[in-house]
Amino acid sequence: MIVGKLVGTDGAPLENISVSLKKAGTGVNTEADGSFKLRAEAGVQLLHISGLGYVTQETSVEVVAGKTTTLPTTTLRINEHELAEVKIMEQRSLNQRPASISKMPIAPLDLPQAAVTIDRQVLEQQQVLRLSDALANISGLYVTSTTGGTQEELGSRGFAYGSNNTFKNGVRFNNGVMPEASSLERMEVLKGSTAILYGNVAAGGVLNLVTKKPQFERGGSVGLRVGSFGFWKPTVDVYGAVGNSQKVAFRINATAEKANSFRDKVESDRVYVNPSLLFELTPNTTLVLEGDYLRDNRTPDYGIGAIDYQIQESRTRFLNVDGANNATNQTSTTATLTNRLNDNWQIRGVAGFQRYANAQRSASRPVASAVPATYGNLTRGLQRSETNENYYLAQFDLTGKFRTGFLDHTLLLGADADQYQTTAIAYTNPDSKLTANAANTAFDIINILDPNKVIAQPKERLTGFQDLVRNTYTKGNTRRAGFYVQDLLSVTEKIKVLAGLRWSYQETPSDVYYYNTFVNRNTKPAPVAGTLVNNRRYDNAFSPRLGVVFQPVKTTALFASYSNSFTPNTGFDLEGKSLAPSLIDQYEVGIKNDLFKGALSANITAYRIVNSNQSQSILPTDPRFGTSRTPSPQELAGQVTSKGVEVDVQSKPVNGWSVITGYSYNNTAYTNSNIYENGSRLRYNPAHTANLSLFYNFSSTFGNNTFLRGLSAGFTTYYVGDKLAGRNPRLLDPATGLAWKTADANKFITIPNYTQFDASLGYSYERVSLRVKLANILNELSYNMHDDNSVNPIAPRNFSATASYRL
């Protein structure tokens, strides 16, 4: 036996240093106190001692049979010629990196569905601040609106990404507030139907935000970002082992943000903290605990207004009242337990909780008037609301690989259950009657075109938010559950089949209480006779999936797939029964390529999505209307069709260059409607988008010993074209079933096309880095809109700079 101890030049013990017998090839690592014990055969042995960052030593030791040879304490010197920094870059292509949102350990090349992953290096290189900044990397994913300027609503393939379609670490995320981008490790987008995996999701796809994880190696960074319009944002990211543990690691991301705006009177401030812990319970079992806290306060901003469905061009016009505020607090925690049973099988359990609370005080939205009789005069009312939501999730997945006969299987078995507990309080004018649609009285009158214009004010009006009293108290308690199975069968090396089925159940109770506004103005709800409205819905649906992948060569895959999803409806049929969910069929074909030995991935996808049983009103002119047991009967007889093409191209870093580019075309329209013209496009969905990001790292050309080695530069451009808002013109009045008397009662609003061009420059030296960015260099003007309100201009040309220090 050979025993000894290793210390550094400061006398401190050295842990995890390799000590081995050079001839035999066997060895051990030193313990926490620097000691080691090594069995050896009798005779002269050559001892090899090495550790990262230290000078390697070799020494001869004479070992006597049956005795322990004790070596004197050995001091290792630091290797001054060790590389100052080693960067390990992602070397798998876009089609080789599995996305955790797919729940299966298969490469995207084997998946009959379009998928895109954007890693942290790209997000940092482009200095992404909001999710909308990252859209320049993903074709067909776009901003639909920014209602009130408090959130970014996304869409894809003609369908909105609501909270059901937005995830963080695999758990649904309430997108009523802008998520924090500085904590992201990557963004994952699974396009098309994912109902088999997640149940009630829209047909366009899902977005998963993956946060940075704990590491046992100590490190981190601190930074400060400043920019136009009084923007500043300090950040900190610290990670490492807890103490000297090899079993527990931590990470803490935190940031604060404060800014004014290019918009008059608009300001914001927010605080974000993202702590996480990693436990290696056994060599095959890990537990990750992740927390998330976000406090976001900002001025609600419903934009510049419109007159007769015409945008009154401006970038700065502010139409809200003084004192308007939108305050959101969001807290969440997630526990993920993963156990690798063997090389082929793994189980994974996820438990999540999220608390969302929002309080808003604002003027009512400036809705576009059908007839411009007031010449820009706008009567502002006041509105106030409070929303609270508790969300619970439990999910279990079993994945494994096995073989039956000539078939290789990659199997997923899973179950999930979640619950939304929501409460919402709406306020109204105390003089209003006790009805669900009690209107607010006026606060004042301004002019959209000339805010300084003096206008006679209403004689009786609210003096402030303190005059509003509680009107309704709504309780919701949505409960969902699902069971699913999915199998990827490798029929041959070139042919794969993905088949699966999910059953989903959803229960949606809702209770509405009306306050006695004349007695209990600001107390708990006081339901009186006839003031409670109950609504109960019970829905279930099957979601099948079938896809075929053909790989003529290992780097190319052609695929075709069918899947469907469902959307619960809220209406009632002729007999007063609740409408069944609408089932949405989706067909997708495409080709995925890894070109130039995997240096470039180029994918093309074409899709057709058909909701052939969309809910629509039965008109009063319909003979069946007179036999209806419900006052507003509906039926599943409408149809909406979405079709399009998407192109995604992404490269690995090659000779310093990296490129991401893409293009999408989409047409989503009514194809069978009793109110709207067939072929009439749905709003918010751009017909065309295009994106290009090109960056160059000078170190690959100029080596490691020049001033330019830390320099990088690049640009990002994003085009959005042919987009509509406003309200779809109707052929018939749904209230009467007759033709509109006024042809222009509803109108589209055409949103200007635009191309946003951003340029970035970065420089790193040892532990310090500096990045600068000039956004919207061309100073393009366009808008994000919701219906005929929330006409929110995009930001003008602006500047930002980020300085950071690596710990």
Question: What pLDDT is recorded for position 299?
Answer: 96
Locate the domains of the chain by residue range. 2-75, 100-211, 219-806
Residue 474 in tokens: 């709504």
Give the whole-angstrom CA distance, residue 482 versus residue 502: 7
Residue 277 in tokens: 């812990």
Could you give the 3-state DSSP secondary structure of residue 264?
coil
Could you give the 3-state DSSP secondary structure of residue 671?
strand
Mean pLDDT calculated for residue range 297-309 = 90
Residue 484 confidence (pLDDT) above 80: yes
- Concatenated DSSP letters for 268-284? EEEEEEEEEEEEEEETT
CA trace torsion 702, 705, 706, 712 (10° rounding): 60
CA trace torsion 617, 618, 619, 623 (10° rounding): 180
Question: What pLDDT is recorded for position 83?
Answer: 52
Give the whole-angstrom CA distance, residue 146 versus residue 131: 12
Residue 637 in tokens: 């007889």
pLDDT category at 530 given cuts 50, 70, 90 is very low
Q: Do residues 44 and 60 make contact, with C-beta atoms less than 8 angstroms apart?
A: yes
Q: What is the CA radius of gyration of the chain?
A: 31
Of 61-75, 77-91, 372-386, minimum mean pLDDT range: 77-91
Mean pLDDT calculated for residue range 30-36 = 87
Q: What separation in angstroms does the CA of 467 have from each of 378, 525, 656?
A: 21, 18, 62
CA trace torsion 571, 575, 580, 585 (10° rounding): -90
Q: What separation in angstroms does the CA of 533 have from each of 55, 475, 792?
A: 78, 10, 36
Q: Do residues 409 and 114 make contact, with C-beta atoms less than 8 angstroms apart?
A: no
Of 409, 394, 398, the closest CA to residue 346 belongs to: 398
CA trace torsion 62, 65, 68, 69 (10° rounding): -10
Could you give the 3-state DSSP secondary structure of residue 196?
helix
In the DSSP assignment, the letter for residue 65 is T
pLDDT category at 509 given cuts 50, 70, 90 is confident
Q: Please write the tens of the pLDDT for every residue from 556-573.
A: 999 999 999 999 888 888
Buried-state track 601-638, b at ≥16 Cβ within 10 A, e below 16: bbbbbbbebbbbbbbbbbbbebeebeebeeeebbbbeb
Residue 465 in tokens: 């938010």
Tokens 């300085």 belong to which residue? 803
Mean pLDDT calculated for residue range 320-338 = 95
Candidates 2.170.130.10, 3.30.479.10, 3.30.450.20, 3.20.20.80; CATH matching 100-211: 2.170.130.10
pLDDT category at 702 given cuts 50, 70, 90 is low
Tokens 């017998």 belong to which residue? 21
At a CB cut-off of 8 Å and minimum separation 6, what does 404 contact?
none
- Give bridge partners of residue 550 from the DSSP assignment: 495, 558
Question: What pLDDT is recorded for position 91?
Answer: 64
Give the whole-angstrom CA distance, residue 719 versus residue 753: 8
Q: Please write the tens of the pLDDT for every residue from 608-648.
A: 999 999 999 999 888 888 888 888 899 999 999 999 999 99
Same fold? 2-75, 219-806: no
Give the whole-angstrom CA distance, residue 146 versus residue 154: 9
Question: What pLDDT is recorded for position 700?
Answer: 60
Mean pLDDT calculated for residue range 723-746 = 78
At a CB cut-off of 8 Å and minimum separation 6, what does 800 contact?
127, 129, 225, 226, 227, 228, 231, 772, 773, 775
Give the whole-angstrom CA distance, residue 309 versus residue 372: 9
Mean pLDDT calculated for residue range 474-498 = 95
Of 181-185, 257-261, 581-585, 709-713, minimum mean pLDDT range: 709-713
Of 451, 419, 425, the closest CA to residue 351 belongs to: 419
Question: What pLDDT is recorded for position 95?
Answer: 84
Left, alpha or beta for 108 (phi > 0: left; psi -120 to 50: alpha)?
alpha
At a CB cut-off of 8 Å and minimum separation 6, what does 705 contact?
none
Q: Do residues 471 and 440 make contact, with C-beta atoms less than 8 angstroms apart?
A: no
Of 542, 565, 546, 540, the closest CA to residue 500 belongs to: 546
Q: Please write the tens of the pLDDT for every residue from 776-792.
A: 999 999 999 988 888 99
User: Could you tell me the strand order of the sheet in which 115-119 lies?
Assistant: 115-119, 184-191, 205-211, 166-168, 171-172
pLDDT category at 682 given cuts 50, 70, 90 is very high
Question: What pLDDT is recorded for position 704?
Answer: 54
Question: What pLDDT is recorded for position 162?
Answer: 84
- Which residue did the predictor score with more confidence, 699 or 678? 678
Question: What pLDDT is recorded for position 526?
Answer: 47
Tokens 């401190």 belong to which residue? 12
Q: Do residues 372 and 308 make contact, with C-beta atoms less than 8 angstroms apart?
A: yes
Residue 475 in tokens: 């309780």
The β-bridge relationship of strands 205-211 and 166-168 is: parallel
Q: Do residues 300 and 266 make contact, with C-beta atoms less than 8 angstroms apart?
A: no
pLDDT category at 429 given cuts 50, 70, 90 is confident
Mean pLDDT calculated for residue range 528-557 = 81
- Which residue did the predictor score with more confidence, 263 or 95? 263
pLDDT category at 435 given cuts 50, 70, 90 is very low
Question: Hey, how many other C-beta atoms are within 10 angstroms of the C-beta on 361?
Answer: 22
Residue 171 in tokens: 């758990």
Give the whole-angstrom CA distance, residue 446 versus residue 265: 16
Question: Hey, how many other C-beta atoms are within 10 angstroms of the C-beta on 801?
Answer: 14
Residue 519 confidence (pLDDT) above 60: no
Give the whole-angstrom CA distance, residue 124 versus residue 128: 6
Residue 676 confidence (pLDDT) above 60: yes
pLDDT category at 89 given cuts 50, 70, 90 is low
pLDDT category at 528 given cuts 50, 70, 90 is very low
Name the pTM for this structure. 0.85
Tokens 């790193």 belong to which residue? 764
- Concatenated DSSP letters for 304-344? S-EETTEE---SS---S-TT-EEEEEEEEEEEEEEEE-SSS
Question: Hey, how many other C-beta atoms are within 10 angstroms of the C-beta on 273?
Answer: 18
- Give bridge partners of residue 389 from the DSSP assignment: 356, 422
Question: What pLDDT is recorded for position 252?
Answer: 97
- Give bridge partners of residue 393 from the DSSP assignment: 352, 418
In the DSSP assignment, the letter for residue 175 is T
Tokens 């502002």 belong to which residue? 380
Give the whole-angstrom CA distance, residue 456 versus residue 444: 9
In the DSSP assignment, the letter for residue 656 is T
At a CB cut-off of 8 Å and minimum separation 6, what does 217 contact?
239, 240, 241
Residue 705 confidence (pLDDT) above 60: no
Tokens 């609003």 belong to which residue? 749
- Give the residue ranges of DSSP H helices in 428-526: none
Question: Hey, how many other C-beta atoms are within 10 angstroms of the C-beta on 53?
Answer: 10
Tell me what percent of the residues of the chain surpass a pLDDT of 70: 92
Question: What pLDDT is recorded for position 529?
Answer: 36
Of 338, 327, 298, 339, the closest CA to residue 385 belongs to: 327
pLDDT category at 368 given cuts 50, 70, 90 is low
CATH 2.160.10.10 is held by the domain 2-75: no
Amino acid at the residue 318: F
Give the whole-angstrom CA distance, residue 370 versus residue 785: 17
Inter-residue long-range contacts of 264-268, CB under 8 Å, 24+ positions, other chains counted:
264/316, 264/317, 264/318, 265/299, 265/318, 265/320, 265/322, 266/149, 266/298, 266/299, 266/301, 266/318, 267/298, 267/299, 268/296, 268/297, 268/298, 268/299
Q: What separation in angstroms does the CA of 321 have from each of 264, 302, 377, 588, 736?
A: 11, 11, 15, 48, 38
Question: Hey, how many other C-beta atoms are within 10 angstroms of the C-beta on 513?
Answer: 19
Of 28-32, 94-98, 118-122, minimum mean pLDDT range: 94-98
Domain formed by 219-806, architecture: Beta Barrel (2.40)
In the DSSP assignment, the letter for residue 198 is H
Q: What is the mean pLDDT of the chain?
A: 88
Tokens 């604060």 belong to which residue? 256
